[in-house]
Amino acid sequence: MPQENDQQHYPHRKEKHEARRDFLKQSSAMMALALTPPLVIKAAQHDEAIAGIFEKMPVSMEINGKKIEVSVEPRVTLLDLLREQLNLTGTKKGCDHGQCGACTVHVNGHRINSCLTLAVMQEGKKITTIEGLANGEQLHPVQEAFIKHDGFQCGYCTPGQIMSAVACIREGHAGSPEEIREFMSGNICRCGAYDNIVHAITEVKQGGKTV
């Protein structure tokens, strides 16, 4: 006899099936809950719960010529420290995987991707961001050259491009357009302003200005 007829003539069977199905659902949910680690349950309830297991550590460093002392969680990147805690938002968060170069800063004179570097590892180091290049109202020569040669369009990658450009010249890797392209290859420009960027770097290099 078809199932709908069973349910029509024997409604109690339908009730039993539904009760059994509800019981199995509840049992499965309770089993999953019992097997879930307490920490995961808390994290699911609130994202900030998991942050409580990390103790903050004191870090002292020099940023753009000023000594700062902050407390950070061990997992915080230098990029997030600059942007989230110190409000130095000139350094951009692009890919967050060290592939686009938008987060480039200088640490002890060397360029790095700040998204790949933990803040706690910068103890005692000197850090320069895009905000620290200019001398008061006087722009850095590379900044001036980028403006002159229109080395940017949307501008999102520009801080990282400029920081890498300064390092490229200081490292002695701006001897030719080909060399500049090679040593600037870690910085991606979605707008495609590469030619203008090369022209800007070339002018600063040939002009002999201190960078």
Question: Residue 160: which CATH number?
Answer: 1.10.150.120
pLDDT in tens, 85-96: 999 999 999 999
Residue ranges in the chain whose pLDDT is less than 50: 1-4, 6-7, 10-11, 41
pLDDT, residue 23, reads 55
pLDDT, residue 55, reads 87
Asked if the structure places residue 87 within a domain, the reply is no
Asked if the structure places residue 150 within a domain, the reply is yes
d(CA 56, CA 71): 6
d(CA 23, CA 20): 5
pLDDT, residue 209, reads 84
The 10 Å CB-count burial string (b at 16+, else e) for 28-56 is eeeeeeeeeeeeeeeeeeeeeeeeeeeee
Asked if the structure places residue 56 within a domain, the reply is no
Asked if the structure places residue 75 within a domain, the reply is no
Q: Do the beta carbons of residue 174 and residue 201 sit within 8 Å? A: yes
pLDDT, residue 1, reads 46
pLDDT, residue 192, reads 95
Phi/psi of residue 102, nearest 5 degrees: -65, -20
Task: Select from 127, 125, 143 the least CA-distant residue to 135.
Answer: 143
> What count of other Cβ atoms lies within 10 Å of the Cβ of residue 86?
17
Taking the alpha carbons at both ends of the chain, their separation in whole angstroms is 90
Asked if the structure places residue 181 within a domain, the reply is yes
Parent domain of 24: 3-51
pLDDT, residue 35, reads 56
User: And the tokens for 124?
Assistant: 């005692």
Asked if the structure places residue 70 within a domain, the reply is no
Q: Do the beta carbons of residue 99 and residue 188 sit within 8 Å? A: yes
pTM here is 0.75
Asked if the structure places residue 128 within a domain, the reply is no
Asked if the structure places residue 114 within a domain, the reply is no
Count how many domains the chain has: 2
